[in-house]
Chain A
Amino acid sequence: MIPSILEWFRDPMTWSGPGGVPTRLLEHLWYTVVTVVIAAAIAVPLGLWVGHTGRARWLVSVANSLRAVPTLGLLFAVSLVVGPYIPGDLAFTAPSIAVLVLLAIPPILAGTYAGIDAVDPSARDAAKGVGMRGRQVLWQVELPNALPLLLSGVKSAMLQVVATATIAAYLGLGGLGRYLIDGLAVSDIGEAAGGALLVGLLAIVLEGVLSLLQRRVVSPGLTGRTARGSQDGDDAPQAEAPADAPVDVRG
């Protein structure tokens, strides 16, 4: 198996043209970024609204119950039902992208809502008490405090999309998934496994990039990563808990 993978990697055809790795990689990245951005544009405001007002919490439960639907089935069903109505090449990509967006929404929605919900009630109370208006409470206190969980949700969504976009190659979507599906179809183990390694690598790199981003934008006061100076106070410091808890959803 390993020789065939190496052979695939060494083949110049692997690296050039419309089916070459750079093109497929960019396609895969493009699908991922577009769907996560669209999903976030829908799910973040929704999650903020549900968390801030405490209204329509059922939205979060409904989105979460979507997890029980197998992603493969969702992909097939949507493209079977919607595909015929869409002309040309879009008939293959548009339903897949729609499903990817649909799958990316629940983790972001759940993360955003959980983040807002986990804001220390006394901090929220104090925010109102010092005279912040609803919007100010949301932007200045709730959102910054919700960021760790919100971004965990985005991270889960992104991994979900990377994984599902791979499978969607079965429906004709481009991206690195092509190598896996095409390789399997013609029993070219080198191509399938080589593609699998690339997809795995992409997922790990994206995860790393988002973790770095998380470090940059989340206040050090929330992560417990701040340097601890000498305690010259009047009593013992309070225990701290990292605010980053997992919101894992994938398929």
Chain B
Amino acid sequence: MIRFDGVTKQFPDGTTAVDDLSLTAPTGKITVLVGPSGCGKTTSLRMVNRMIEPTRGGISLDGQDTGRMDAAELRRGIGYVIQHAGLFPHRTVLDNIGTVPRLLGWDKKKVKDRSRELLEVVGLDPKLGNRYPTQLSGGQQQRVGVARALAADPPVMLMDEPFSAVDPIVRDQLQDEFLRLQDELGKTIVFVTHDIDEAIKLGDQVAVLRVGGTLAQVAEPQYLLAHPADDFVADFVGKDRGYRALQFEHAPRLTLHSEPSVVVGETPSSRASWLLVVDDDRTPLGWVEPARVGDRPVASEDLHRGGTVARASGSLRGALDAALSSPARRGVLVDNDGVLVGTVRAHEVLTAIEETERPERDEDDPVHGGAMDVSGERG
């Protein structure tokens, strides 16, 4: 558990970067600090491992005042990931990963084994180990950065915009893998981003900071979307927050329709205006218009691929999007293995939405709350 206690940081030029911040990052959870530039989120993060010293107030790690620890020792026990990865260009990937274990005096063999192991943990090809950072793509560098931070298995990780320098598709992929990894490792993580979508996707709790370094609100993401504490938070959270909140509502309450389908390469028997095409494993491939295909077997050029596919165990947001994007107006739902389960119509999803309850507003609004109870359920 990381606890900020009335932490203030004033820089020598007189600007106040962080103003009386009190916040707790619970053990084993991801706490996201989010806000516009100049809100002091990075400064707050860097005060945890004492890259920046607070002007007033204190930060404790599992009850121990970090100000009394040796700064270098403290940092070796905290994983640190930064925006451009900050890899050492003169060292190979494996040597980069082994940095902290070597600082801790592990023997060479153990460092090497651990580095190789981590390369796999973060999903990198083992043969990249002897490359140098400049030979890697941005996404690969960022993975190495995460591996380096994990090397000595620190209980706490600080991550400063680790995914913002890579392109959106890679970012999405890295975020998903990061969540999968966190499910396994259960680190106490403080994560800084300026991207509210990333904050909502990754955070067990999200702390919104405003310019001048004051805490505007701290809450679970779905609560934040439903009950922004003030205009600033509402504005920052964004316009389509109602829609985005749907990603925290689970879809299983939907009643599914069975959908007639045709396997690709066979001739459609139905004369419906749109027919779903699947492969041999019943994984949906797209829609066809039988009238256009006629008596030919369905070929892959015939497919209309506009519709999205949602997981039946996923969120209402996914189900609604599947329905809205489908040319047949029927949203395709699959199970966890990608096998067709059935379809759902938009109005049915909307009905399900109307039946869900918005997150309860706490009587004791946790704007300046201390430790929060976080259930840890993610969409």
Q: Which of A126, A221, A234, A238 contacts B80 (CB 8 A)?
A: A126
B329 interface residue per 8 A CB criterion: no
- For A129, the chain B residues whose CB sits under 8 A away are 49, 51, 75, 80, 82, 86, 158
Q: Is B85 an interface residue (CB 8 A)?
A: yes
Bin chain A's interface residue count. 35 or more
B56 within 8 Å of A by Cβ? no
Q: Is B73 an interface residue (CB 8 A)?
A: yes
Cα A126 to Cα B90 in complex, Å, equals: 14
Report B126-154 residues with CB < 8 Å from chain A CB. 127, 131-141, 145, 148-149
- B137 close to A235 (CB less than 8 A): yes
A130-B140 contact, Cβ under 8 Å, with A122-B86, A226-B132, A238-B134: no
Given A221-B92, A222-B90, A234-B170: A131 and B75 interface contact (C-beta under 8 Å): yes
Q: How far is the CB of A183 from chain B (nearest CB, A)?
A: 47
Nearest-CB residue, chain B, relative to A141 = B88
Asked if A133 lies at the interface with its beta carbon under 8 angstroms from chain B, I say yes
Within 8 A of B (CB), among A140-172: 140-141, 144-145
Cα distance, A125 to B83, chains bound together (Å): 11
Within 8 A of A (CB), among B65-119: 72-77, 80, 82-92, 99-100, 103
Partner of B75, one of A130, A145, A235: A130
Assess whether A126 is in contact with B89, with CB atoms less than 8 Å apart: no
Number of interface residues of B (CB under 8 A): 45
The answer to whether B170 and A123 touch across the interface, beta carbons within 8 angstroms, is: no
A126 adjacent to B88 (CB under 8 Å): yes
Is B89 in contact with A128, judged by CB distance below 8 angstroms? no
Residue A69 lies at the interface, judged by CB distance under 8 Å to chain B: no
User: A221 and B82 in contact (CB under 8 A), knowing A136-B103, A234-B170?
Assistant: no
Q: Which residues of A contact B141 (CB under 8 A)?
A: 238
A248 touches B (CB below 8 Å): no
| Complex interface residues of chain A between 83 and 138 (CB less than 8 A to chain B) | 120, 122-123, 125-133, 136
The A interface, classified by DSSP as helix, strand, loop or mixed, is loop
Identify which of A122, A127, A221, A240 contacts B83 (C-beta below 8 A): A122
Which of A126, A144, A226 contacts B87 (CB under 8 A)?
A126
Are the C-beta atoms of A120 and B134 separated by less than 8 Å? Answer: no
Give chain A interface residues in 196-227, CB to chain B under 8 Å: 218-222, 224, 226
In the complex, residue of chain A having the shortest beta-carbon distance to the beta carbon of B86: A126
B-contact 0/1 string along A222-251, CB 8 Å cutoff: 101010110111111110100100000000
B88 near A123: Cβ-Cβ < 8 Å:
yes
Q: B103 contacts A132, CB within 8 Å?
A: yes
Are B132 and A221 closer than 8 Å at their CB atoms?
A: yes
Interface residues of B in 158-196 (CB under 8 A from A): 158, 166-167, 169-170, 173
A235 and B90 contacting across the interface, CB-CB below 8 Å: no
Contacts of A234 in B (CB 8 A): 137, 139-140, 170, 173
> What A residues does B362 contact at CB under 8 A?
none
Q: A130, B99: Cβ atoms under 8 Å?
A: yes
B75 touches A128 (CB 8 A): yes
Which of A125, A231, A236, A240 has the most chain B CB within a 10 Å cutoff? A125
Contact present for B134 and A221 (CB under 8 Å): yes
Of A226, A235, A237, which is within 8 A of B167 by CB?
A: A235
Contact of B89 among A125, A133, A221 (CB under 8 A): A221
Contact A235 to B138, CB < 8 A, known contacts A129-B80, A131-B100: yes
What would 23 A/B residue contacts be, using CB atoms closer than 8 Å?
A120-B89, A122-B83, A123-B87, A126-B82, A126-B87, A126-B145, A129-B75, A130-B75, A130-B148, A131-B76, A131-B77, A131-B103, A132-B103, A140-B88, A141-B88, A219-B132, A220-B132, A233-B139, A235-B137, A235-B167, A237-B136, A238-B134, A240-B134
